[in-house]
Amino acid sequence: MPYVNIKITREGATKEQKAELIEGVTRLLKDVLGKNPATTFVTIDEVDTDNWGVGGIPVTELRKQQK
């Protein structure tokens, strides 16, 4: 009965990509630890780039610098 939480920045992940993440993580837990998919939960949090910092700087700023 695993519970997995994935946090990514909100930068356009599609419904299909999120379904792939859910499917892939669930299969990984089955393959590695024999966990039952029926009781494996996966949640995805999409976080605004203003609300995620790396190196002390919001990702919004990092993206501007990368351009």
Residue 65 C-beta: closest distance to its own copies, Å:
14
Rounded distance between C-alpha atoms, residue 65 and residue 63, angstroms: 5
Phi, psi at 20, each rounded to 5° = -65, -40
Is 37 assigned a catalytic role?
Answer: no
Residue 48 C-beta: closest distance to its own copies, Å:
9
Burial 25-48 (b: 16+ CB within 10 A, else e): bbeebeeeeebeeeebebeeeeee
Q: Interface residues for its own copies in 8-67 (CB under 8 A)?
A: 8-9, 13, 15, 17-29, 31-33, 35, 37-47, 50-61
In the complex, the residues that contact its own copies under the rule CB under 8 A are: 1-9, 13, 15, 17-29, 31-33, 35, 37-47, 50-61
